[in-house]
Amino acid sequence: MDNSNTTSSSDQAPSQSPQNEIKPSSAFERWRRKAMLVTGLGVTREEQLADLQQHHVRRCEKDKEYLMNYSPIVVFMLKNLKASGCEVPASNILCAPCDTTMAGGFVPEPGAVILCGGHFMNQQHMESTITHELMHMYDHCRFKVDWNNLRHHACSEIRANNLSGDCRYTRELRRGFVTFSKQHQACVRRRAVESVTANPACPSPEAAERAVNEVWESCFNDTRPFDEEADS
């Protein structure tokens, strides 16, 4: 056999065996990739934004898990939802990137709370948001709310803003609202009108304000499930 066109092993440069190859550590690669994403060097703006969103969602999931286990008000709401026949597993409280300025929302079917990763000022803000949305879930479960009915929607918004901590004084200061007389009531009413106005079934802000006014007294004074716990 003519071997004139072949190269013998003695003519080749010595090569390292796979066992002796020097490979960059995965930890180093992760650090290098993270540095690129932080500085923007070697990555696109889209990749940076996607990484930031993933970071926000991971942080959201961590805080959500803590609150579902240790926040007295969140645990209380989950307990009462379960007692009403609407148990809420952790998978029904979802952290996700959101395009809106809202911190969270409630989806009646299939009964889920959406938390917008990166939209929370602190853990207390997330706590009040979860409580607000769980109040909507409680109303939907127990009172069969028709969300296309502006009066129904207004009542649930009044209750959620009143009972969740959304209208505590410090939160209103952050929003730029300073009211020295009936601050809490003013906040509850304003936020309820804003939410009902955003309902696709609402024809105008005037209709939203009218719906809130019509149910204000009874719904503002309705503190279920908190009053039921006190009576038990």
Which residues does the annotation mark as catalytic? 133
Burial 30-69 (b: 16+ CB within 10 A, else e): eeeeeeebeeeeeeeeeeeeebeeeebbeebbebbeebbe
Token digits of residue 133: 């949305």
Nearest CA-CA partner of 75 in 60, 59, 95, 93: 93
CA 134/CA 189 separation, integer angstroms: 19
DSSP 42: T
Q: Strands across the sheet with 93-96, in order?
A: 93-96, 112-116, 104-107
Residues 6+ apart with CB under 8 A from 41: 35
